[in-house]
Amino acid sequence: MKYSAPSRISDNRSSATVQRVNQLDEKVMDNRPTIVKQRKLQEAANNKSTAYMFSPVQLKKSHTLSSGTGMVMQRWAVKEIADQKESLDDNEGNNLYGFSINVKSGEKNANTALHHIISRDSMKKLNKALNLAQSSKTMDVKNSASKFWKTTQSATNKEIRQQAKTSIALLENLPLNLSYGPKEPLDDPGTGFDPDTRPAANGGRELTPVSEQLAIINEIIESNSISELGKSSELWERLNGAMNAAIKLYASGDKEKISKINPSLREQWEIKEGENEDRYYRKGIKNFLNESIGEKRLKGSSIPADELELIGERAPRDEQSDKLSIYAYAETVNLSHFLERHTYEYFTLKDKDIKLINTFWEEGTTLDNIKEYARLALAYSKKHVKDLHRVTIDLNDEMPEFVGIKNVIIQGIPKPVYLMFGIEEVDDNIFEVDLRTLAPDGKVDAYTAEILKKVQASRLELQEK
């Protein structure tokens, strides 16, 4: 599809609009966990099957579990998982991350949460594809998907399987896909991949062995549509291989361990002390650089305004459609932001652009490169929204107003990316996607705010001389 800016669309924006985008961006780059609108899951259907090898074709609807313990509980968690978290809180959570006190009841609650490595949204997509594949008339597809499902169920115990009752609930409660850590971290990944990491032999950082295998599963989910997943035996064989490997690495020969949540990997969490509260963020696998490197690489050039224009296509406001139509675009104010925040050539060193953690595309990345990455990101976002729409219809759910995804691998972009885009339902079956954030992610150059403030002070000192 050719992306071009329609002549009838003006990219002139009021100061209020720019301010709104900047405010949204502050939330994104601080990675507040409120970016993505929480969508209410529908209650379970009256399905009474608790069989060990239940079929996801028969069990499609999500369910939630209300806690009878009085504890603050993540709604997706079955009782077995909730009990394990409570035990971890009692044994180590308060010592590692502190606790908060309920003003009304006086009860103590650990400042902890269970984080999904492969996100719940990705699991919903996988579940939909699994339903489709197991309903396939092509036996190779059906058998491969069933093999993957049998392997996946073996990554739990009887209690989790019986309490889950549905395929999506079981996928959301896999212990090997849960990472125990602080609640509301600064780098909450939204609907993106959120791996565990560890120190590497070369002094950097790397994914843990289990997260390496989960990364393979996540890439297959995110790189293929529901339809593509639903008709490919080869993809299900790859998914099964990675799940098998993850199970073996997680259990380490101990059958009981596969159904237990690991204690926190405290080493992978950094703390940012605040006036009112301390916030944590993952170290990840970013390549943190020092002041002298930043001083050499940061150019601070001005963006040639005549080389930027709206990319993509806005949705028509006077049309109706009987079928799903998705339009996607990136406005010049956001394209400028992508350049000023994440390229060595155009980074401004202004206070507004210096965040807690600042990631950069490779040195030498040009304006034309960023425009091409934006076009590829728009194509990805349209595909993502199409699948999201399909899943939300099945769950009788609502489309989110904003989506934030970390560690997205998009063919043609040299590094994983962090995307954030708004979704507007213009009319029935017509959606418009507004690309707000396009940042390099994963193993990329990064600087802390402290380092960039030093470079900023050095530049100001030179200017005053």
Say if residue 143 is in the same domain as residue 193.
yes
Specify whether the CB–CB gap between 97 and 280 falls below 8 A.
Answer: yes
Q: Tell whether 359 is covered by a domain.
A: yes
Q: Tell whether 113 is covered by a domain.
A: yes
Say if residue 98 is in the same domain as residue 191.
yes
Say if residue 259 is in the same domain as residue 302.
no
- Up-side HSE of residue 87: CA atoms within 13 Å toward CB? 10
Q: Tell whether 6 is covered by a domain.
A: no
Say if residue 164 is in the same domain as residue 267.
yes
β partners of residue 287: 445
β partners of residue 420: 404, 437
Q: Tell whether 233 is covered by a domain.
A: yes
Return the exposure string of 202-225: e unless at least 16 CB atoms fall within 10 Å of the residue's CB, then b.
eeebbbbbbbbbbbbbbbbbbbbe
Say if residue 199 is in the same domain as residue 291.
no
Number of domains, the chain: 2
Q: Tell whether 460 is covered by a domain.
A: yes
pLDDT the model gives residue 98: 66
Residue from 389, 380, 372, 370 nearest 421 by CA: 380
Say if residue 145 is in the same domain as residue 187.
yes
Indicate the residue among 272, 296, 328 that finishes a domain. 272
Q: Which domain holds residue 428?
A: 15-30+286-464
Q: Tell whether 40 is covered by a domain.
A: no
Q: Tell whether 55 is covered by a domain.
A: no
Say if residue 25 is in the same domain as residue 91.
no
pLDDT the model gives residue 11: 33
β partners of residue 360: 445
CB-CB neighbours of 129 under 10 Å: 29
Say if residue 294 is in the same domain as residue 257.
no
pLDDT the model gives residue 234: 97
Say if residue 416 is in the same domain as residue 295.
yes
pLDDT the model gives residue 391: 86
pLDDT the model gives residue 42: 27
Say if residue 294 is in the same domain as residue 327.
yes
CA distances from 50 to 46, 96, 169, 335, 391 (A): 12, 37, 12, 51, 24
Say if residue 245 is in the same domain as residue 323.
no
Indicate the residue among 272, 305, 332 that finishes a domain. 272
Q: List per-residue pLDDT tens for the chain, 465 residues long.
A: 332 322 222 333 333 433 433 444 434 333 333 333 333 322 232 232 222 233 333 333 333 332 233 334 568 999 999 999 988 888 765 567 766 655 555 566 678 899 999 999 999 999 999 999 999 999 999 999 999 999 999 999 999 999 999 999 999 999 999 999 988 888 777 778 999 999 988 778 899 999 999 999 999 998 899 999 999 999 999 999 999 999 999 998 788 899 999 888 889 988 877 666 677 888 889 888 999 999 999 999 999 989 999 999 999 888 788 899 999 999 999 999 999 999 999 999 999 999 888 999 999 999 999 999 999 999 999 999 999 898 888 777 788 898 888 888 999 999 999 999 999 999 888 999 999 999 999 889 999 899 999 999 999 888 877
β partners of residue 180: 114
For the chain, what is the HEC assignment? CCCCCCCCCCCCCCHHHHHHHHHHHHHHHCCCCCCCCCCCCCCCCCCCCCCCCCCCCCCCCCCCCCCCCCCCCCCCCCHHHHHHHHHHHHHHHHHHHCEEECCCCCCEEECEEEEECCCHHHHHHHHHHHHHHHCCCCHHHHHHHHHHHHHHHCCCCHHHHHHHCCHHHHHHCCHHHEEEEECCCCCCCECCCCCCEEECCCCCEEECHHHHHHHHHHHHHHHCCHHHHHCCHHHHHHHHHHHHHHHHHHHCCCCCHHHCCCCCCHHHEEEECCCCCCEEEECCCCEECCHHHHHHHCCCCCCCHHHCCCEECCCCCCCCCCCCEEEEEECHHHHHHHHHHHCCCCCCCCHHHCCCEEEECCCCCCHHHHHHHHHHHHHHHHHHHHHHHHHHHHCCCCCCCEEEEEEECCCCCCCCEEEEEEEEEEECCEEEEEEEEEEECCCCEEEEHHHHHHHHHHHHHHHHC
Q: Distance between CA 400 and CA 383 in Å, rounded?
A: 15
Q: Tell whether 50 is covered by a domain.
A: no
Say if residue 25 is in the same domain as residue 126.
no
pLDDT the model gives residue 84: 93
